[in-house]
A = this chain, B = another copy of it.
Amino acid sequence: MDGRTYRASLDDGRKVYVDGAVIGNVGTDPHFAINVRRASATYDLFARDSAARDAFMTPPTGVESLRQRSDSHVDELASMTYTTMMTLLTAADRIAKVRPQAREAVDHFVGDLKTRDARITECITDAKGDRAKPPAQQPDKDAYLRVVGRRDGGVIIRGAKLHVSMAAIGHELMVIPTKAMKPDEPEYAIACAVPVNAPGVSIVSVHNGRMPEDADARDFPHSSQHALPQGFVIFDDVFVPEERIFLDGETGMSAAFAHSLGLWVRAAHLNHVCDDLDTITGFAQLIAEANGTDRIGHIKDKIANMAITATLVRATLEASIAHATAIHGGIMVPDEVFTNAGKYHAAASYASLVRDLLDIAGGSAVTAPSARDLENAEIGPLVRKYMATKPGIEGEYRLRLFRAIHDLTASAYGGHRHVALLQSGGGLYAQSIVTRGRYDMDRAKRLALESFGWESGAADACPRNETAPIPA
């Protein structure tokens, strides 16, 4: 497939809504233009260079290839297709123990996906209803997606999946349980693949974070190039044939997919976020230089703190790679404790970094005139004059720096980025829990006990034992 055939493939009868209106063809609808353009570019790139495609779709099998793997040349939909496939392959290994046919189903589906050169997105988060109650005790049983019926050769599912990035412009939806299900919740233990245009599937696409309709792209240099439409995906009694089912009632394995996804998603995000934090730090230094404040003590201190935060997060990426472990097939998986600690620290610190950048930039981060003001014959020269600060810092350069900072951190796009960073990989709390879970607490406790000499003859005196923990 190339960009052109990709765009054509989207006109397949899928039901997509934006602001209450049905979208005729997402391939040509302006709401999706940025993402379709980006996805097409990757298709074109891979069409020209199949080796690049194969390299991208091949998982790393060594520390060095893990370190060098990069997705900076592909669009977000292609990246997501990669993590989704990795998730399915990783999970299949575990599922196979209780559902032998899952391995074959996954292999077949992934092979088919590659053959068709299709794109797939991840449907994980359920509507959830009352969060204080488990699926089976919800007022509305459909609050978690479930099997509501069976018929020859397949099952019928009902429910909604939220926060599905780019759902409307992919070809397939990977549907997996959002969490571990209990033995009495078998109908909720369902994982499968569903075509976007399957009967009963509706996607309500939400487009917050986009640049203003009437704005000039030069004033929104990030949001004119990047967007992340979010699908509220409704499965209203959708039939799924047997060969597309990867889990069906095996509650003990219901968390396997979410766990595998978490692994791949957080590692991918950590990679990006390292550059994001460096970018924010770079903007702080650039605008300080442009303002002539880069030698002022408190400005330098704030930038130093930003650099320290960026360095701490990057250190976790480096450490997660240095301590990567191989899973089946020799695929290298970054170390989880470092990955999660880094992801957590980045997400938790981001708001403060943005505050520091906006503090350093000054009010012009929201009050700087626009590119079109510059073009006005009367006021353009005056805006340039007053936005300039010194030789080498022309008005237009500084103005565009402000607009870029505004778009990255104080626009609708900036707000969207913040939420995405907080919530990707499951929210701050999830990342905190995983870090604690993966942290080597036994070693920490041992270090503590040894530090005051408790180890002397107390090997079996662990305080958790039943016997007295008192040494002789």
From B311, B319, B396, B407, give the contact of A314 (CB < 8 A): B319
- Known pairs A232-B386, A279-B451, A397-B464 / 12 extra A-B pairs, C-beta < 8 Å: A17-B379, A129-B389, A296-B297, A303-B436, A307-B439, A312-B345, A315-B318, A350-B355, A351-B354, A355-B422, A362-B427, A400-B462
- Specify which of A368, A428, A439, A461 lies most central, judged by the most chain B CB atoms within 10 Å of its CB: A439
From B300, B390, B436, give the contact of A436 (CB < 8 A): B300
CB neighbours (8 Å) of A318 from chain B are: 315, 318-319, 322-323, 338
- Specify which of A163, A373, A452 lies most central, judged by the most chain B CB atoms within 10 Å of its CB: A452
Contact flag A410-B469 (CB < 8 Å), given A275-B447, A304-B433, A363-B162: no
CB <8 Å contact, B397 and A462 = yes
Contact flag A236-B382 (CB < 8 Å), given A410-B416, A463-B393: yes
CB <8 Å contact, B204 and A373 = yes
Q: Which 6 A-B pairs have the closest CB atoms?
A: A297-B297, A410-B415, A20-B372, A282-B448, A282-B444, A392-B467
CB-defined interface of A183-217 with B at 8 Å, one 1/0 digit per residue?
Answer: 00000000000000000001010101110111110
Show 17 residue pairs from A and B whose CB-CB distance is below 8 angstroms, ordered by the A residue. A17-B379, A20-B376, A131-B389, A160-B382, A208-B366, A208-B411, A275-B447, A285-B441, A286-B445, A290-B463, A307-B444, A308-B436, A315-B316, A319-B319, A359-B422, A363-B419, A394-B463
CB <8 Å contact, B279 and A311 = no
- Asked if A242 is at the interface (CB within 8 A of a chain B CB), the reply is no
A415, chain B: closest CB distance, angstroms: 3
From B202, B295, B449, give the contact of A132 (CB < 8 A): B295
CB neighbours (8 Å) of A215 from chain B are: 19
CB <8 Å contact, A392 and B463 = yes
CB neighbours (8 Å) of A387 from chain B are: 127
- Asked if A254 is at the interface (CB within 8 A of a chain B CB), the reply is no
CB neighbours (8 Å) of A328 from chain B are: none
- Asked if A418 is at the interface (CB within 8 A of a chain B CB), the reply is yes
CB neighbours (8 Å) of A422 from chain B are: 355, 358-359
Binding site secondary structure of chain A: helix
CB neighbours (8 Å) of A390 from chain B are: 129-130, 133, 139
Contact flag A463-B367 (CB < 8 Å), given A279-B451, A415-B410: no
Residue of B nearest to A280 (CB): B448
CB neighbours (8 Å) of A311 from chain B are: 316, 337-338, 341, 435, 439
Residue of B nearest to A450 (CB): B279
CB <8 Å contact, A435 and B308 = yes
- Asked if A61 is at the interface (CB within 8 A of a chain B CB), the reply is no
C-alpha gap A449/B286 in the complex (Å):
9
CB neighbours (8 Å) of A436 from chain B are: 300, 303-304, 307-308
CB neighbours (8 Å) of A420 from chain B are: 366
- Asked if A222 is at the interface (CB within 8 A of a chain B CB), the reply is yes
Contact flag A348-B355 (CB < 8 Å), given A162-B363, A373-B17, A435-B311: yes
C-alpha gap A244/B445 in the complex (Å):
47
CB neighbours (8 Å) of A465 from chain B are: 391-392, 394
- Asked if A9 is at the interface (CB within 8 A of a chain B CB), the reply is no
- Asked if A143 is at the interface (CB within 8 A of a chain B CB), the reply is yes
